[in-house]
A and B are shown apart, each in its own frame.
Chain A
């Protein structure tokens, strides 16, 4: 999995590319842990090819951490495959999900 980063407004946009599963989830966690806790995030999921339960666990964990340090974490641009996983697991109830990165970074 590749992770790239840019900044829009006060948000760090973290774009993921590839597979987010048990073997790549720790990489994402360490990457996010390298940022200040109070940094708000938008995670761009457009190029995530596969997401499993561990990958979902990483996202839930990050969201929870951000919440405790009063930062915001949003998800953007879910493709159909990723959307499916969020739907069947009903994990969407935990996240703010945008279909556009810049819209997510504005609100």
Chain B
């Protein structure tokens, strides 16, 4: 038996805003990443291989699940186009689907199951075709059954669509109140309905009321109460005399003192009311904050190399700039625009003056050939606000409040890698090149790429 998971980006996209930086398939439900519930189910159903297919980025999922050896199941990954139907997806994965029966789980679904039930023999005996469906997807089976049995009665699993924050909350509460023994829940459980992770500090004065799930590295301060039906994620601090009840506190969250979080979801500095869907971004760090891991200063060499490169260019361009800038300015061909741009650090932006040189005169052509339009930006490299080469700075627009998730490894720069390559024609091509060099670049290669960019920009 094998399992094919088909989940489209469109189905899980709504989660990205609520859990920034976490791939929706890894969003924790009761402190267990969503995908693990499906991995567990696939294994229970007798699968020896699982393929996850999506039209979205699976990098983080792959990084987390790897090849599945942790679970003893072979996990592979595949891509699809947004418009593909299930039949096309099966065709695209024909080699995977060829030899054995395949369970196809399609849609962003939660499957309710009970780890104590016997699924392997059940799935082997079920006829092919659709087993269950709901508006958000379905679970079906290919191939023919090996054993002949009559049509099964009610199946010992059911589907729950995951399409809103309300559903997410309901599902978590449902697992807490009735399903803790049905799934494998992370944490130590010395008594029923209580799961506690590693490195959890609970003072004597604090009160914990079951059912409860607490993650790793959690500090609960004096006189706090974790009331029933709460899920506390990992790396969480609940400050003194605060009350959490019927709520989900997501990983890396600080909850200030004297607060009452009741029937809410707290994720970093975001507080969500799952019933109404209202969410508020808290601006007071002493109420709710995201706890960020400090960044390692491994980029120092790159910064030095880039600063040296920028200094070199400044020296080279200074004289032409001093000569041409006033001429072009007078001709009205030197256009400047100040705009806010993302820096790559959450919540921090940088104001840059973008210059465009217009016209075709000799002075314009010469200035363009020397890339004088980037001259002033070079100084930002010296103060470390920009890289010499990297991504084109992304302007802050009201439409995108945050740096989109697709900009992993984003490093705003004076020149972009896309300018160094000959082939990019449109925006998406440039993105491909920038993604490529976000991974495949080193400080010395950067200098070569800068030269290439300077050269190509003139053509």
A residues engaging B (CB < 8 A)? 52-54, 56-58, 60-61, 64, 83, 85-94, 96-100, 102-104, 106-107
Contacts of B438 in A (CB 8 A): 88
B91 and A98 within 8 A (CB): yes
Kindly state the separation between the CA atoms of A50 and B47 in the bound complex, as whole angstroms.
32
Kindly state the separation between the CA atoms of A102 and B436 in the bound complex, as whole angstroms.
30
Q: Which 9 A-B pairs have the closest CB atoms?
A: A57-B423, A103-B94, A92-B79, A100-B94, A89-B435, A53-B436, A100-B95, A89-B432, A99-B95
A53 and B88 within 8 A (CB): no
Kindly state the separation between the CA atoms of A53 and B452 in the bound complex, as whole angstroms.
14
Question: Which residue in chain B gives the minimum CB-CB distance to A93?
Answer: B55
Which residues of B (409-459) have their CB < 8 Å from a CB of A?
Answer: 417, 421-425, 428-429, 431-433, 435-440
Contacts of A96 in B (CB 8 A): 81, 92
B residues engaging A (CB < 8 A)? 55, 57-59, 62, 77-81, 88, 91-96, 98, 406, 417, 421-425, 428-429, 431-433, 435-440
Contacts of B432 in A (CB 8 A): 53, 56, 60, 89-91
Show 23 residue pairs from A and B whose CB-CB distance is below 8 angstroms, ordered by the A residue: A53-B421, A53-B437, A56-B436, A57-B422, A57-B423, A61-B423, A64-B425, A83-B77, A85-B436, A87-B59, A87-B62, A88-B439, A89-B432, A89-B436, A90-B431, A97-B92, A99-B95, A99-B96, A100-B94, A102-B94, A103-B94, A103-B95, A104-B92
A54 and B421 within 8 A (CB): yes
A87 and B96 within 8 A (CB): no
Contacts of A53 in B (CB 8 A): 417, 421, 432-433, 436-437, 440
Q: Which of A52, A57, A100 is in CB contact (< 8 Å) with B429?
A: A57
Contacts of B57 in A (CB 8 A): 87, 90
Contacts of A54 in B (CB 8 A): 421-423
With A54-B423, A57-B423, A87-B62 as contacts: A106 and B429 at CB distance below 8 Å = no
Which of B80, B96, B432 neighbours the largest number of chain A CB atoms within 10 Å of its CB? Answer: B432
Contacts of B79 in A (CB 8 A): 86-87, 92-93, 97
A57 and B95 within 8 A (CB): no
Question: Which residue in chain A gives the minimum CB-CB distance to B417?
Answer: A53
Kindly state the separation between the CA atoms of A83 and B424 in the bound complex, as whole angstroms.
20
What distance in Å separates the Cβ of B250 from its nearest Cβ neighbour in chain A?
26
With A96-B92, A97-B92, A98-B91 as contacts: A88 and B435 at CB distance below 8 Å = yes
Kindly state the separation between the CA atoms of A99 and B438 in the bound complex, as whole angstroms.
27
Question: Which residue in chain A gives the minimum CB-CB distance to B87?
Answer: A107
What distance in Å separates the Cβ of B9 from its nearest Cβ neighbour in chain A?
9
Question: Which residue in chain B gives the minimum CB-CB distance to A103?
Answer: B94
What distance in Å separates the Cβ of B267 from its nearest Cβ neighbour in chain A?
26
A88 and B59 within 8 A (CB): yes
Kindly state the separation between the CA atoms of A104 and B91 in the bound complex, as whole angstroms.
8
B78 and A99 within 8 A (CB): yes
B92 and A88 within 8 A (CB): no
Which of B423, B425, B435 neighbours the largest number of chain A CB atoms within 10 Å of its CB? Answer: B423
Contacts of B431 in A (CB 8 A): 89-90
What distance in Å separates the Cβ of A83 from its nearest Cβ neighbour in chain B?
8
A99 and B94 within 8 A (CB): yes
With A60-B429, A93-B55 as contacts: A106 and B91 at CB distance below 8 Å = yes
Question: Which residue in chain A gives the minimum CB-CB distance to B429?
Answer: A60
What distance in Å separates the Cβ of A28 from its nearest Cβ neighbour in chain B?
12
What distance in Å separates the Cβ of A97 from its nearest Cβ neighbour in chain B?
5
Kindly state the separation between the CA atoms of A61 and B423 in the bound complex, as whole angstroms.
8
Kindly state the separation between the CA atoms of A53 and B433 in the bound complex, as whole angstroms.
6
